[in-house]
Amino acid sequence: MHNRSTLDIRRGILSTLAAFAMVLLPAVAIHAASVRPMDLDAVVDDAAIVFQGRATESRSAVEASGEIVTYTTFQVEEPIKGPVGMTHMIKQIGGRVGDKVYKVDGIPSFSPGQRYVVFLYGVSSQGFSSPVGLEQGRFDIVSRDGVSEVGNGRDFRELLAPIPESVLTPTVRAKLNAKSSSVERLELGEFKRLVRERAGR
């Protein structure tokens, strides 16, 4: 039979765990929702800002809280949605400082020198801002035969599925209707035009 002090300790532990779970569960739910497959309309709608730019610097640091965070700076080449300056910096959880490494699955990284179209959530009270849907909000820009194209690893047939064909340009429609296994790249100008159209719809 347990004495009163043992029962009180167990009750205290259980109440602490319950309180922790009440805090943790919403965060887990938000994270799960953020990584669900999103179509382009959802990515555009959830983004506070969208821009085309080049990553110029990525550095990690240890916060006063002890957390490792990474700061990435972009040279903005073209604003697409929302207010964006000539440069833009984001802060994300995780990174490497010396021998200390803190990796969070799904948090996208940016390589200095690489160009992207980035869809960002608003800034949290702690200053964090990540791409919408994590890696789904980071479209890298590559040049093929002098043509700039974008992609984020998803099939554009899925990304554009809810969008009426009448909204798409003949070039995009032809690419989506081609007999290929997947469409992982769109021409940069066509993509930006489509994003602006969906943002203003």
Same structural domain for residues 8 and 51? Answer: no
Cα–Cα nearest to 128, from 62, 70, 86, 88? 70
Report the mean per-residue pLDDT for the chain: 85
What's the CA gap between 107 and 192, in Å, rounded?
Answer: 24
Mean pLDDT of the region 88-98? 94
Same structural domain for residues 20 and 53? Answer: no
- Residue 18: pLDDT over 60: no
What's the CA gap between 181 and 10, in Å, rounded?
Answer: 58
- What pLDDT, on a 0 to 100 scale, did the predictor assign at position 201? 79
- What pLDDT, on a 0 to 100 scale, did the predictor assign at position 19? 38
Mean pLDDT of the region 174-189? 92
- Residue 21: pLDDT over 90: no
Question: Strand, helix or coil at 196?
Answer: helix
**How many structural domains comprise the chain?**
2
Same structural domain for residues 94 and 126? Answer: yes
What's the CA gap between 53 and 78, in Å, rounded?
Answer: 7
- What pLDDT, on a 0 to 100 scale, did the predictor assign at position 30? 41
- What pLDDT, on a 0 to 100 scale, did the predictor assign at position 16? 40
- What pLDDT, on a 0 to 100 scale, did the predictor assign at position 36? 87
The model carries a pTM of 0.80
Domain CATH for 117: 2.40.50
Same structural domain for residues 56 and 14? Answer: no
135-153: per-residue pLDDT in tens? 999 999 999 889 999 999 9
**By residue range, what is the domain housing residue 15?**
1-34
Same structural domain for residues 46 and 117? Answer: yes
Same structural domain for residues 44 and 87? Answer: yes
**Which residue carries 């909000």 as its tokens?**
137
- Residue 10: pLDDT over 60: no
* Close Cβ partners of 122 (under 8 Å, ≥ 6 residues apart): 48, 129
Same structural domain for residues 54 and 94? Answer: yes
- What pLDDT, on a 0 to 100 scale, did the predictor assign at position 20? 36
Mean pLDDT of the region 40-54? 97
Same structural domain for residues 26 and 66? Answer: no
Same structural domain for residues 10 and 64? Answer: no
Judged by average pLDDT, the poorest of 8-17, 19-28, 116-125 is: 19-28
Alpha helices in the chain (DSSP H): 4-34, 40-46, 156-159, 170-177, 188-199
Same structural domain for residues 146 and 74? Answer: yes
What percent of the chain has a predicted confidence (pLDDT) above 90? Answer: 70
